[in-house]
Structure 1
């Protein structure tokens, strides 16, 4: 997601009746993942907040509900940086630009929070995608490295000091959890961008960091976490203006699959355009022989035809060779905080039961 709001918003409203999703059959040789001992299609979700709440019981509660929904993977922030140690209730890395020291927070509001998520995911049979950097400023992103090293959003990707510190953090996270069966993928960043840069900058960065991760853990998937920006056209999403070439990155040998995000309204498109975005990327899975994931997508709860839009996208996903999709975002009642934003879909609501559950079951029923 682009940015994290700090305002509680209501759960999605229910509109017209949603027909049951029907099982589909893959008609191409596009690759899929093996999970739970089987090669299959499946659905997942995003719960960035799981690692940033202070209650083990809330973590366990949420993951139990995700498992009960047949959602096989959830994406959780593996980052949390601070420059002052007081601006976040939970943080993992402290880049203190007063004393010029970088430390891992081993306290109760630090890395033990991520430990709790990994343990609970193991218990419930849910796997995790862990991005280890945020392009955005929320919860300590590139900005915290640049506050320390004096870089900016475009020079970060090649700044020697910032890159050394980032790689040290990546190495710490990978080595800590590499033996856990709960890790689905190490992810380089959440929505990396280098606006108006040559796309080679992030491609080479992704090549370098993914190679490092594979040297530490050759057995676990690695993904970039980008939004899927394409090149070769004048249209915004196809213009490479954000400094990302999806196809070039998909061809990096040490990246195991491609990630795609979709927020049509934020990008200036109509909801119908979303079907083209899905099918264009699904075609690249077949072309390049790597799985492709719709990693973030949803429709704001304030949109009157939210149900119809999601239903159409789900049918498009089922009709193509998207390996799995994960909506933004799963939400549930917690004691510690509310997983708020205007895209949240709350577990146990009628909307959830009529939109999320049928799709997760349809993805699992899709034959290869």
Structure 2
């Protein structure tokens, strides 16, 4: 039976769906559209198995990459790509996205679809800059992240690159799903259009252009689509050059319906590789402070908050599915409690999407290679490091308890 639920909306600072409060536990499933395709990387049998498993566990909100950009054969780049060159699309991946949304709709699950990426693993900023004539983008794995970040900082003020992206936005939002016959802009299986994955200015000097670009993008999306929520995909102040005022400014945009934060204790230097369990308490303290600061902004703006990325490495910084997850489970418990406690008290914390879903994948190499299973870890990261696999019973037990708490709030 095709799901008949209505669009997720925001009313008085809280999500609503079908006239009821909408609180959720979700995950990141960035590779969903590729898995839904029938070409390279596609596996519809696995896709349906993953969706069934997640739905059974109460994980019904999936944050998904619309598509990767650029040529094949680039180190640390997700393949296959959707947009090979500006305006040149891989219809196999478009069919995969259609099929994914069709299957999610049948299971009454919703998608947060992000359209861009500031990082190298799916193109985004660097792809548009290259095609706008800014030169060849450095590869972080070869040239280092400082060189890459310096290059992509030019995106904020590159009008030609912006226009190429706007053309892409118009194309995606203008599509009709070939399996359901439903126009994307009229499909309740989509919860939110998200401008990008962790969009950043990458320099203080680029902030004005960055803010302007985000505003122009949200306005364009709203012009094209009156039904869906719009979000930024921001990490929070960490993605705003550590300036909370910039975060407040971009979230205050009238077309932005809710706020996002991401949390990465290891990546941000709060937890050390060889002391993940020892550093858990400090990581939790930093996390609480970070969340409180951003909740204050949400309170000022009257908008919900979603923690849509957070992760903690497997014990011993191991990558194998058989490795333990004591530290990660402890971190998840802490984060989930922050969300649920605030929501139960009528606060603005509405949901969370843990990073990321590995499900039934069986990684073959530490670094992703074409032909390997997709995991929650993109191609530039060690496969298995932050993934939650279907075999991770202790982590899924923690998730189950959070699902119970959040579902009670939907009544």
Which residue does 1:354 correspond to in 2?
397
Q: Which blocks of at least 5 consecutive residues in structure 1 are unaligned?
A: 1-28, 96-100, 230-236
Q: How many residues align?
A: 326
Q: Distance in 2 between matches of 1:148 and 1:221?
A: 30
- State whether structure 2 residue 373 is matched by structure 1 residue 337: yes
- State whether structure 2 residue 168 is matched by structure 1 residue 169: yes
- State whether structure 2 residue 101 is matched by structure 1 residue 112: no
Which residue does 2:338 correspond to in 1?
316
SS in structure 2 opposite 1:82?
A: coil
Tell me which of 291, 304, 317 is aligned to 1:278.
291
Which residue does 1:17 correspond to in 2?
none
- State whether structure 2 residue 328 is matched by structure 1 residue 306: yes
State the 1:244 CA deviation.
8.2
Q: Distance in 2 between matches of 1:291 and 1:313?
A: 16
SS in structure 1 opposite 2:266?
A: helix
Structure 1 residues 71 and 65 mapped into 2: Cα distance closer, same or farther (>3 Å)?
same
Instruction: Give the TM-score, by structure 1 length.
Output: 0.81
SS in structure 2 opposite 1:202?
A: helix
Structure 1 residues 30 and 43 mapped into 2: Cα distance closer, same or farther (>3 Å)?
farther
Which residue does 1:217 correspond to in 2?
225
Greater fraction helix: 2
Deviation larger for 272-281 or 36-45? 36-45
The within-5 A match list for 1:58-69 is 58-69=46-57
Which digits, 9 at most, give the CA deviation of each residue in 1:212-234, with x for residues without a partner? 001000110011101011xxxxx
SS in structure 1 opposite 2:152?
A: coil
Instruction: Give the TM-score, by structure 2 length.
Output: 0.73
Q: Is the Cα contact below 8 Å between 2:108 and 2:189 reproduced in 1?
A: yes
Structure 1 residues 91 and 37 mapped into 2: Cα distance closer, same or farther (>3 Å)?
farther
Which digits, 9 at most, give the CA deviation of each residue in 1:324-363, with x for residues without a partner? 1111112211487141431111235321332111111211
State the 1:165 CA deviation.
1.0
Q: Distance in 1 between matches of 2:126 and 2:332?
A: 34
Q: Is the Cα contact below 8 Å between 2:64 and 2:112 reproduced in 1?
A: yes
Q: Is the Cα contact below 8 Å between 1:79 and 1:134 reproduced in 2?
A: no
Q: Distance in 1 between matches of 2:203 and 2:81?
A: 31
Structure 1 residues 217 and 186 mapped into 2: Cα distance closer, same or farther (>3 Å)?
same
Which residue does 2:200 correspond to in 1?
193
Q: Distance in 2 between matches of 1:103 and 1:243?
A: 38
SS in structure 2 opposite 1:120?
A: helix
SS in structure 2 opposite 1:195?
A: coil
Structure 1 residues 158 and 244 mapped into 2: Cα distance closer, same or farther (>3 Å)?
farther
Which residue does 1:181 correspond to in 2?
188
Q: Which blocks of at least 5 consecutive residues in structure 2 are unaligned?
A: 1-10, 36-41, 135-150, 176-183, 271-281, 317-325, 363-371, 376-382
Which residue does 1:366 correspond to in 2?
409
RMSD: 2.5
Structure 1 residues 258 and 220 mapped into 2: Cα distance closer, same or farther (>3 Å)?
same
Which residue does 1:327 correspond to in 2?
354
Q: Is the Cα contact below 8 Å between 1:195 and 1:242 reproduced in 2?
A: no
Q: Is the Cα contact below 8 Å between 1:196 and 1:242 reproduced in 2?
A: no
State the 1:37 CA deviation.
4.7
Which residue does 1:266 correspond to in 2?
267
Which digits, 9 at most, give the CA deviation of each residue in 1:191-240, with x for residues without a partner? 011222343222211110110001000110011101011xxxxxxx4983
Q: Is the Cα contact below 8 Å between 1:122 and 1:182 reproduced in 2?
A: yes
Q: Distance in 2 between matches of 1:244 and 1:79?
A: 31
- If asked which structure has higher relative contact order (CA below 8 Å, sep 6+), I would say 1
Q: Is the Cα contact below 8 Å between 2:72 and 2:80 reproduced in 1?
A: no
